[in-house]
Structure 1
Amino acid sequence: MTNALSLIEFTDALAADFHRINAEWIEAMFVMEPTDRDILENPRARIVDAGGTILFVEARGSGIIGTCALKKTGEAAFELTKMGVTDAARGKKAGEFLLVHAIARAKEMGARELYLLTSHKCEAAIHLYEKLGFVHDAGVMAKYGATYDRCDVAMGYPL
């Protein structure tokens, strides 16, 4: 089914999709935090112009169904963040498709540190992260975990 999925690069025209997809899962499971609002309302300034990237997955016949970002947080450090797939797209392997491409893109961008912050409530996402090679990392939690109140899981990817 992944042959029906395409990777799409960020454009300003897709900023609303980035906001919509992420607001959907954040508001369904948590409370929108100031950090969330800042990133979702200013994706070009906070992610793209700051040295990161935003990727989307498009499903043939359904349009944009998922997104994720690589936010530059240091010289060669990137946070995998704001990864979400619409409820209607669950089961299409869109999250796995995005994650594979995000990991590859981080490597292309010269990442020496790739990490993510999440909540234990995101069980399906954590399982996917583990499946593709992310490992739980107390060092990541100590260094970056205070970014979000909801964060109680930190993972790193061995590059």
Structure 2
Amino acid sequence: MDNYTAADLEIIEYAPQYHDDFRRLNHEWITRYFELEPADHVTLGDPQTHLLDPGGFILLARYQGAIVGSGALLHNPADGSWKLAKMAVTDQMQGRGIGYALCKAILDRARTMGVTRVELVSNHILLPALHVYRKLGFVEVPLGTVMYKRGNVRMAVDL
């Protein structure tokens, strides 16, 4: 059961004024479990160039006026693939269904854009995140080559 009301939670579009929130949320979860890698600094330092300009988008979860979650859909024009990335919910708000709501909103929007498959890379120690992904239909697929040292599981969902 969700532990928030619709009046308290909004899923909103990323805008430049939320850049610090986006970076903070991702720094928070990455440094809690792993360490920031060069690719993190690049992507989080300039989401416009690395996430938005290639055709992707970022959504944010705003709870009672505060930005508490983020998620992105990345497009790779070279091979046409789409990846769910930069999913984060601040520690004190985890376990309330916010990550699920955010991820569902990203997948719903991907469907409206005509995206047919979304992949993600995660880590087996992130059990709550993996649970959310499975609940939304993601299944494990072969890992292949990954950009981040922390990535040890790849999942995909056909939309």
Q: Could you tell me the TM-score, scaled by structure 1's length?
A: 0.92
Does 1:65 pair with 2:72?
A: no
1:39 alignment partner in structure 2: 43
SS at match of 1:110: coil
AA paired with 1:85? V
- 1:76 touches 1:110 (CA, 8 Å); kept in 2? no
What are the Cα deviations for residues 70-98 of structure 1, in whole angstroms up to 9, with x where unaligned?
A: 01024642110010000111122110110
Q: Could you tell me the TM-score, scaled by structure 2's length?
A: 0.92
What are the Cα deviations for residues 99-135 of structure 1, in whole angstroms up to 9, with x where unaligned?
A: 1101111112221220000011111100110011000
1:19 alignment partner in structure 2: 23
* Structure 1 consecutive aligned stretches of length 4 or more whose deviation exceeds 6 Å: none
SS at match of 2:137: coil
AA paired with 1:92? R
RMSD value, Cα: 1.3
State percent identity of aligned pairs.
Answer: 36
Distance (Å, rounded) in 1 between the aligned partners of 2:103 and 2:63: 15
Distance (Å, rounded) in 2 between the aligned partners of 1:104 and 1:85: 19
SS at match of 1:111: coil
- 2:89 touches 2:99 (CA, 8 Å); kept in 1? yes
Structure with higher helix content: 1
2:134 alignment partner in structure 1: 130
- 1:76 touches 1:112 (CA, 8 Å); kept in 2? no
Deviates more, 1:74-83 or 1:26-35: 74-83
1:78 alignment partner in structure 2: 82
Distance (Å, rounded) in 1 between the aligned partners of 2:157 and 2:17: 31
Gapped regions of structure 1 (runs ≥ 5)? none
2:106 alignment partner in structure 1: 102
Equivalences, count: 154
SS at match of 1:56: strand
